[in-house]
Structure 1
C-alpha cells in the first residue's frame, strides 16, 4: 500500500490525502467540491481533477468514504450491518474501478425496531481507535448530526444519531429566539455556554429549556453577544443528558477544534473525561481498511 489515495467526500466539501506505506500523510488537498456541487455524471471528472496525478502509478489504490457513497453520490455503497470492524468494512467495499477505486460502505444498526445509519464516521471512529491505541471506547462525533458510538473488541457495536447541530440551526435561524441574537455567532462565550449546558441538564426537556433563551433576553439577564453560546449549550446539554453518563466516564471526542472544545466543557460539567482524536483519524482509518485487503478485486 505504498500508493494509497484517501478521500473524505462529504456533502459540502472534499478532502484528499496521499499516504505513504507507513500511513504518513505526504500531501493533502481540500476543496469545496462536496457531492451537492457535482452535476450528474460528473464525479469521475472531479476525482481526476483532485487526485488524478496521484493515481498515475499502476499500483495506486483510492479509498473513498463519506456521502460520495450515498444514493446522491458517485455510486451507492450498501450499508454494512453492525457490529463491524476493519475487516468487515473492507469486505463490503463497493468497487468503482476494480482494484483501483473503491467506496467504503456506511454502517447501519437497529434499536427498538428503528434503523440508524452513518457514512464517513465509521472510518473516523476506526481511525481514532488506531491513533489512541484503543480496543474499546465510547466516542462522540459532534456535528450537524452527532454520533455516539460504542466500540468493543475493535468493532463498532452500536451507535445513535442526534440532530443537535441541525436543531441549533433551526432555533437560531427560524424561531423567535434568533430575533434577540446578533447576525453572527461570534466567539464562544464559555460562561454562557456552561450556563446553557447546566440549565439543560437540570431541565426535563429541551422543549421547556429552550424558552429560557427568550426570557433571559427579555429581562436582559444575558448579553446579546452571549446568547448564541447559551443556545448552543442548551442543545448540546440536551444531547449529553440523553447519554446518562456515569461520573468518571471517558469519552473520545472526534471533530473540529471548535466543536471538540464545547463537548469537553459539557462532559466536564457531567464529571466525565474527554480524549481528543483529530482530523488525522479519517486518514488512519482508511489506511487501516486498506491494510486488510489481501488482494485487489
Structure 2
C-alpha cells in the first residue's frame, strides 16, 4: 500500500493506493498558504502527521509519496524545481527522500520550471498520470483550468515546458470584487454556459483586449438586458481567448487535453472542435485519479532506478 499526499494552496489530501484502486481518501483544510501566513510549517506538518496516522491505523503503508505545494518554500519540505525539458525517467530519478518529524520518511516529487518563464508544482504528476490513463502517444498539450490556467507541453519522453496565466483568480476577482459583480453570477454556481455569449466574449477579447471585453459585460447588463448568467458566460469566453492563442501558436498537429471544471472545458472543447483543433476532455473521474496514477508511475520508476525490486519505505538521506 502506497500513501500519496497531494498538497494544494488551501488543502492537503491523502489517498492510499493498492495498485488497482484508491482504498482510502481523506483531506484537511490546511495547505501551503497556511505556512505562508504563519511563517512556519508547524500546522501543515501536524496536519500531514494526522493524515498519515489515520491511514496507518487502517493500512500497513510501504511508502509515502508527496507532490504539489508540499515541496514549495511554504510547504512541508522545499525541493528545488527541475528544469524542462525533462524526461519522465529523469524526473523519477530526482525524487527526494526525507525524514519528516512526526511523519516518518516521505518521498517528494519535485516541481518543474520552464527556464525563467514558468513553474509548476503538482501538474507534472497529473499529466504523467493522464498520459497513462488515456493511453496517449506522441506530442500532447494539457490545458489545466484552475486558479491558474496552465498549458503543459508533453511528448513520449516527458515534459517539454509550460505556460501559466491568472484566469481562475481573475474570474473570481472580476465577478466578486469589481463593478461587474451585479452583472455576473458566482462562477461556481453557473450550471450551464451560454455558448453564444461565450463566443461573443472571446471575439470581444480578440478585437478589444481583455479589459475592454470585460467592461462590455457591464454595458450589456445596463443597455442590452444581458442576464448575470450570460454575462458570466461572456467573461469566460473573454478569458479563454488567451488560452486559444496558446493553442494556435502550438499548431494544429498537437492534440490538446482539457481538464478542470466542465463549465470551462466544455465550451472551449466545442470551439476547438469547430476550428479544427484536435482536442479531448479528460473526464472528472480520470482527472481525479491523475495525480495518484502519476505519482505511482514515478514511484515505480524511482524504485527501479534505485535497484529496489520489492515495495519499501523511501531510503533515508
TM, length-normalised to structure 1: 0.86
Matched, 1:254 2:247: no
The corresponding residue for 1:288 is: 297
**2: CA distance, partners of 1:150 / 1:170:** 28
Deviations 1:150-199 (A, max 9, x none): 11223101111121112222322333222433567532332355334542
3-state SS of paired residue (1:225)? helix
Measured on the aligned residues, the alpha-carbon RMSD in Å equals 2.6
SS of residue paired to 1:127: helix
> Deviations along 1:221-263, whole A, 9 cap, x unmatched?
4123321222112112332234326557531112244433343
Question: How far apart are 1:49 and its partner, in Å?
Answer: 1.3
Counterpart secondary structure, 1:72? coil
Aligned length: 291
Q: Deviations over 1:263-290 (max 9, x none)?
A: 3234235332432332111111000000
Q: Which has the higher helix share?
A: 2
The answer on 1:25 being equivalent to 2:22 is yes
Instruction: List alignment gaps of at least 5 residues for structure 1.
Output: none
Using the size of structure 2 for normalisation, the TM-score is 0.81
- 1:95/1:151 Cα in 2 relative to 1: closer, same or farther (>3 Å)? same
Q: Secondary structure at the match of 2:238?
A: helix
Task: Report if the CA contact (8 A) 2:64-2:105 is conserved.
Answer: yes
- Which residue of 2 is the match for residue 244 of structure 1? 248
- Decide whether the 8 Å contact of 1:251 with 1:273 is kept in 2: yes
- Per-residue CA shift, 1:50-88, capped at 9, x if unaligned? 122434777621111111111111111110111123322
In structure 2, runs of 5+ residues without a counterpart are: 307-313
For the Cα contact (< 8 Å) 1:192–1:227, is it kept in 2?
no
2:198 is aligned, of 181, 194, 199, to: 194
Which residue of structure 2 lines up, in the alignment, with residue 225 of structure 1?
229
Indicate whether 1:279 and 2:299 are aligned. no
